[in-house]
Structure 1
Amino acid sequence: MKAVLLAAGYGTRLQRDVVSDSSGRFAHLAGTAKPLLPVGRCALISHWVRALSACGSVDGIYVVTNALYHAAFEEWAAHFQNVRILSDQTRSNDERLGAVACLQLAIKHFKIEDHVVVIGGDTLFKEDFSLTKVKERFSDLQAKCEDSCLVLSYQCRDQETHKYGILEVDSDLCVVCMKEKPLPSDTESRRACPCFYVLSKKSLPLLDTFLEEKKEAPIEEKDAPGNFLSWLIPRRPVYVHEISGRFDVGNLPSYIECDLFFREKLQDAESFMV
């Protein structure tokens, strides 16, 4: 199994918050890509590399970034033996390819023909999350159907449904549909879906199909990886693995919350996410 970490975003909200913060406490974060932000004892993305390496089921870790942050990621990756960096060659948010195109770029560039774990580079999960349990669940699904893919979900509050893609599932936890940022009245489900997908190798060619269909569409339709997932659900069986929640570093307050947890509350850093 391979892992692709999506890290080509420009963190515009966070950088705007850092610049406007009058305390000066976070000035050192200016110009830092979100996945490289210090979270606890290391960069946010380093938590993923450590866990993916320790879980034993991933034999290649690929990070897609942009030309602006490429050098910084290469410098960071020099501390790891199993991480390779790829630039999407863009230098601004207006030029961005979008997350789905970046995933396709990595799969083609590195000639990936294996199952792929797709991870948003600005996301970490709570302590109940386990890559080992995810792998076991995915293996069980693959034994029944090689087309099967796996995603995560956690319960969000009523007032948060408009922020997320919300999954509706059947009694077997197979996804029936995903509603993008619905009102609470539009769905009974509260299953938010973070950017963490285990895509079967049989589903990878569908990235080409999706992007060909969307080639004339605005970037917003190709940017969020959830748009591909929503498109995939009627075409391949997609199942849910339940977790309790996540840290989503989108702005300065969410970064502070995440960093504080890893500095003061994380119980077992060595086994975290493994």
Structure 2
Amino acid sequence: MKAVILAAGYGTRLQRDVSSDRSGRFAHLVGVPKPLLPVGRSPLISRWVRALTRSGTVDGIYVVERLGAVACLQLALKHFGIQDGVIVIGGDTLFREDFSLGRVTQKVSELQERSGDSCLLLCYRCRDEETQKYGILEVDDNLRVLRMKEKPRPSETESRRACPCFYVFSKESLPLLDAFLEEKKDAPIEERDAPGNFVSWLIPRKPVFAHEISGRFDVGNLPSYLECDVYFSEKLQDDKSFMV
């Protein structure tokens, strides 16, 4: 299995907050892309590279920094000739200590023993008022994903399963990227850029399942970044085994 880290995000909201701050405390964050933000003593993306390497779950890590997210994934697959299952990771995403790459890959193995083209998404419980910020997964009793609703109002779905940018795509599902981009070639960029749009399109075409975790860290604005930084600076119990 390979890992592709989507690292093109610049962080407009965060940079706006940093530029507006008059204390000077955050001047070192000016112009820093989100994957390179210091989180504790390490850049955010370094924590993923370290965890992926230590866990032994992948035999290749690729970082892509241009085009839209879906096009970035397609670029990596074609440029590097990837013909394997792929873990796609948002370069601005980190999870809490209950997350384990080992458990994720074990779950994928179990699913693919039953159906070799199965894919896996993560999800965590969000509050009612947060549904309009995320893609929300609706699942059946076996955690098979029935659909993903993009930023629905709370009244539009009973689900509170938010889906972060961490997807495990089977190798059988990846050729569908070409079909998706061809179908969306004349659509507005927001309909073909976000990886969640491909996930929504994939769900009725391949078996896709959900794996629950307790939550994620968001570095979208300055308060959420500071919460993340404090956690990794002061609260993380075992840095060496984190996410492994």
1:13 paired to 2:13: yes
Tell me the equivalent position of 1:45.
45
Shift of 1:267: 0.6
Match 1:201 to one of 171, 174, 177: 171
In structure 2, what is the Cα distance between the partners aligned to 1:124 and 1:231? 25
The alpha-carbon deviation at position 23 of structure 1 amounts to: 1.0
Q: Secondary structure at the match of 2:32?
A: coil
Give CA-to-partner distance per residue, 1:186-241, whole Å, 9 cap, x none. Answer: 11100000000000000000000000011111111122111100000000000011
Match of 2:209 among 215, 236, 239: 239
2:113, 2:6 → 1: CA distance? 28
Query: Which amino acid counterpart does residue 186 of structure 2 have in structure 1?
Result: E
In structure 2, stretches of 5+ residues that fail to align are none
Q: Which amino acid aligns with 1:39?
A: V
Letter in 2 for 1:27: A
2:86 maps to which residue? 116
- For the pair 1:150 / 2:96, whether they are aligned, the reply is no
Amino acid at match of 1:12: T
Deviation, structure 1 residue 31 = 1.1
Equivalences for 1:1-274 in 2 at 5 Å? 1-65=1-65, 88=66, 97-274=67-244
Give the length in aligned residue pairs.
Answer: 244
How much does 1:249 deviate?
Answer: 1.1
Q: What are the Cα deviations for residues 115-145 of structure 1, in whole angstroms up to 9, with x where unaligned? A: 0000000000011000000000000011111
* Percent pairwise identity: 76
Q: Are the equivalent residues in 1 in contact too, given 2:85–2:168 (CA < 8 A)?
A: yes
TM-score (norm: length of structure 2):
0.99
SS in structure 2 at match of 1:134: helix
Give CA-to-partner distance per residue, 1:165-187, whole Å, 9 cap, x none.
Answer: 00000011000011110111111
Question: Following the alignment from structure 1 to structure 2, what is the Cα–Cα distance between the partners of residues 31 and 207?
Answer: 32
Q: Which runs of 4+ in 1 moved over 4 A?
A: none
- Measured on the aligned residues, the alpha-carbon RMSD in Å equals 0.7
Unaligned stretches of 5+ residues in structure 1: 66-87, 89-96
- TM-superposed CA distance for 1:10, in Å, is 2.1
Q: Counterpart amino acid of 1:133?
A: R
- Secondary structure of the 1:202 match is coil
